[in-house]
A and B are shown apart, each in its own frame.
Chain A
C-alpha cells in the first residue's frame, strides 16, 4: 500500500471517477489552469480538458447554481469552493435548490452534485475565513454531509459522493491536505453513513471527525500511558449519522467525550450528545462532555486562535472530567 497525502487521495478519487464516467465534471475558482488553489486538482485540466475541468469567476452563488442546473440536466458536477466560508455566498442555492429539488419535483429531478473544499479554521485567516460550517449544512434535510479524517477515508468517501444521486457536502481542511496515510492502489468505496472505530478501547469513547481526529488520536496515546483505555469513533459521515456505531461504543465504555471544531451551540456535537443521552441513558456513568471551538468568532492573534479551538490538552482534561479523575 502506498503512502500518499490527502491532497493526492482526493485527486485520485476525482481522476478515477472522471475516467470512469464522462458525465463527471469539476468546476470552481482556479481548479483548471492553476491546478487548484491547494493543488487538489493538479493535472486534471491537462488530462480532461476545458469542457470537463472549468474555471469559474468569483461568483459562488452563480457557479453553485450552474452546477445544480448541470446536475439536474444529467451531469455529475464536482463544485470546489476555495473554502467553505465562501459557500455561504451560495447558501441559498445549496439549501433551497440542491437540497430540496428532488423532494419538490416529486423525484423527477435528481441532483448528483458534490460541493467540496476546505472547511474549518486553518491559520491566520481571522474570523470570516476560519469557520467550521458543518453544522449549517448538517441542519438541512436533503443534504448529505461527510468529513473524512484520513487520506484513505477521503478517497473512498469522495468516490461514493461523486456516484451519489443526491447533493453531498464534502468537507476537507486546508491543514489536512498534506497529511499522509496509507491508500491502496486498487479501487474501493466507503459507503456514506458508516462511522469507523479508529481505535478500540474500554474506558471511554471519544467521538470526533475530520481534522480534530488527529488531536483525538494523540490524546488517546497520552491517556493510554496513564492507564486510560480510549475508544475512538470517527464519524466520517455527519449526515446520515451512524447511530449504531456510536451507541455500541458508548454502551461498552459508559462514558463519552465528543470533539468537534465547530461552535458548541446547536452543533453536530450537541446533537450526538443528545442522541447518546436519549438512546443510551441507562448505559451512562457520567454526563457526556463536549470539546468544541469556543463560542466566539475566530481571533486573528495566533495564540488566541489556537486557544479557541479544540486541543490535545482540552481533550485530555475533558476525558479526565468524565472519568471523574
Chain B
C-alpha cells in the first residue's frame, strides 16, 4: 500500500522546512534509517531519516520547496503501484501559501521544475488576474508574475503576456563599442528572499530587544595573566581563548545565580545548570552552539567540545538540542578587530556578554604608564530580571577572575 511521507518536526520550534536536497530520487528504494532528504529548519539543516522501508514513487515537494510540518512531501510504496488516489488526495489537501504541492499527472514533467515553488513564494499572488495557462507557463519559466503586465480583459495576464515578457534589461546587457570601465561588482540591486533562518533570527532578536529592557555595563579587563597562563600551556595544549572565557564565565555565573536566570511569566527562574552558548557566524546568519554544564567541565573538555560544535555549526549540522535553551550567551567579535560592542540578549537567557579584541593599551599603574593587553567586555542585561548592582557585582567578579585566573579554582 502506497503511503504519503509527511514532513515531521525536526526541531522543537520547527513549523515548516525547506527541502534542500533529495538524497533519494523517484523510484529509489530505501530502508529504515536511510537519509531520504535534507531539510532546512528554522536554524539548521537536518537529515530526514526513513522510519520505514519502501520505494519513493512520487516526490511532491521538489528541492527548494517548502512544506509545513504534517504536509505530505512524497509518496512511497511498492514499485509500480497506482498512486493516483493519493495524488488526488494531495490536491484536495489545502496547500499553505508557502508550500507548493506539485499537482501534475505522473508522466507530466512540466511542473516538476524545482523553481516552481519560488515564484509562488514571492508573495500574495492570488489577487493577480492570470489565466491558468499563463500561470503555468510563468511557473515553468520561473517568471515572477507580479512583474508582468496583463493585456487580457481587466488586465488579466494571458499566454502572450508571459511569452512576450522580457525582464528589464540591465545596463550590463547593453552592447556598445566603448570599452567599459572594469568594475567587478554589479550595480544592480540584489534581492535575496529571507531564508527561514534569517526570518527567525529577526523575529527572536526583535522580540528580545523590544520586550527585554536592556542595560549595558562595560569593563576593561587586563588579560596579562590569562595570556601568560595560556602561553605556558601552549607547549602541550593549543587551547582557544573562547574555552578560557567560557570556563571563567561559567564559574562566575555559578556565584551570581541571578545573572544565569530567566523571566517566566510572574516568576524568575534561576537556572541550576550553566549552559553557555557561543555565537558563531555562518554565511546566512548566526547560530549559538552550547557548552552544557560548563561550570562542571575543565578547559580541555570545553575546548574539545567547542571544536566539534563550531565545526558542525559552520556546516549547518547542529542538532536542535545543541543550540537551544542556553542559560547565558557569549558573543566574541575580537577576531574581527572590534574593540567593544553591545549584544542583544538571546532568550531564554537574561544576559549576554559581548567580548571585544585584546588590544595593547596604555594603562596607568602606580602612577606610571604601562602597556597592557586589555579586553573590553560588555554585559547586556534584562532589567526585569537583573538589577544594575547585581550585574555590576557580577562584572567585577568576572574582571577579577580574568585578571587572576587562579580565583576560578578557589
- CB within 8 Å for A285 and B134 given contacts A254-B159, A324-B158: yes
Interface residues of B in 101-139 (CB under 8 A from A): 131-136
Contact of B158 among A281, A282, A283, A285 (CB under 8 A): A285
Is residue A19 within 8 Å, beta carbon to beta carbon, of the partner chain?
Answer: no
Interface residues of A in 89-118 (CB under 8 A from B): none
Give the distance to chain A from B2, nearest Cβ to Cβ, in Å.
24
Is B136 a contact of A286 with CB atoms below 8 Å?
no
Interface residues of A in 186-220 (CB under 8 A from B): none
Give the distance to chain B from A258, nearest Cβ to Cβ, in Å.
18
Give the distance to chain A from B168, nearest Cβ to Cβ, in Å.
24
Closest to B111 in A: A282
Interface CB pairs A-B, < 8 A, 24: A254-B133, A254-B159, A281-B132, A282-B132, A282-B133, A282-B135, A282-B136, A283-B132, A283-B133, A283-B136, A284-B131, A284-B132, A285-B131, A285-B132, A285-B133, A285-B134, A285-B158, A285-B159, A286-B131, A286-B152, A286-B158, A324-B151, A324-B152, A324-B158
Given contacts A284-B131, A324-B158, 4 further A-B contacts (CB under 8 A): A254-B133, A284-B133, A285-B158, A324-B152
Contact with B along A300-325 (1 / 0, CB 8 A): 00000000000000000000000010
Is residue B80 within 8 Å, beta carbon to beta carbon, of the partner chain?
Answer: no
Is residue B153 within 8 Å, beta carbon to beta carbon, of the partner chain?
Answer: yes
When chains A and B are docked, how far (Å) is the Cα of A90 from the Cα of B132? 45
The 10 closest A-B pairs by CB, nearest first: A285-B133, A285-B159, A285-B131, A282-B136, A282-B132, A285-B158, A281-B132, A284-B132, A254-B133, A324-B152
Give the residues in chain B near A281, CB-CB below 8 Å: 132
Give the residues in chain B near A283, CB-CB below 8 Å: 132-133, 136
Closest to A287 in B: B131
Closest to B135 in A: A282
Contact with A along B145-177 (1 / 0, CB 8 A): 000000111000011000000000000000000
Residues of A within 8 A of B (CB): 254, 281-286, 324
Give the distance to chain A from B152, nearest Cβ to Cβ, in Å.
5
Interface majority SS on A: helix, strand, loop or mixed?
Answer: loop
Give the distance to chain B from A13, nearest Cβ to Cβ, in Å.
40
When chains A and B are docked, how far (Å) is the Cα of A236 from the Cα of B232? 98
Give the distance to chain B from A243, nearest Cβ to Cβ, in Å.
15
When chains A and B are docked, how far (Å) is the Cα of A243 from the Cα of B229? 85
Give the residues in chain B near A282, CB-CB below 8 Å: 132-133, 135-136
Give the residues in chain A near B159, CB-CB below 8 Å: 254, 285
When chains A and B are docked, how far (Å) is the Cα of A117 from the Cα of B194? 69
Closest to A251 in B: B133
When chains A and B are docked, how far (Å) is the Cα of A283 from the Cα of B131? 9
When chains A and B are docked, how far (Å) is the Cα of A254 from the Cα of B134? 10
Give the residues in chain A near B131, CB-CB below 8 Å: 284-286
Give the residues in chain A near B135, CB-CB below 8 Å: 282
When chains A and B are docked, how far (Å) is the Cα of A254 from the Cα of B135? 13
Interface residues of B in 325-361 (CB under 8 A from A): none
When chains A and B are docked, how far (Å) is the Cα of A286 from the Cα of B156? 9
Interface residues of B in 211-263 (CB under 8 A from A): none
Closest to B152 in A: A324
Give the distance to chain B from A281, nearest Cβ to Cβ, in Å.
5
Give the residues in chain B near A324, CB-CB below 8 Å: 151-153, 158
Give the distance to chain A from B157, nearest Cβ to Cβ, in Å.
10
When chains A and B are docked, how far (Å) is the Cα of A271 from the Cα of B395? 80
Give the residues in chain B near A285, CB-CB below 8 Å: 131-134, 158-159
Give the residues in chain B near A284, CB-CB below 8 Å: 131-133
Give the distance to chain B from A31, nearest Cβ to Cβ, in Å.
50
Give the distance to chain B from A224, nearest Cβ to Cβ, in Å.
20
Give the distance to chain A from B204, nearest Cβ to Cβ, in Å.
40
Closest to A286 in B: B131
Give the residues in chain A near B151, CB-CB below 8 Å: 324
When chains A and B are docked, how far (Å) is the Cα of A324 from the Cα of B129? 15
When chains A and B are docked, how far (Å) is the Cα of A319 from the Cα of B151? 17
Give the distance to chain A from B137, nearest Cβ to Cβ, in Å.
9
Name which of B133, B134, B136, B151 has the most chain A CB atoms within 10 A of its CB: B133
Give the residues in chain B near A286, CB-CB below 8 Å: 131, 152, 158
Give the residues in chain A near B158, CB-CB below 8 Å: 285-286, 324
When chains A and B are docked, how far (Å) is the Cα of A281 from the Cα of B159? 14
When chains A and B are docked, how far (Å) is the Cα of A195 from the Cα of B158? 29
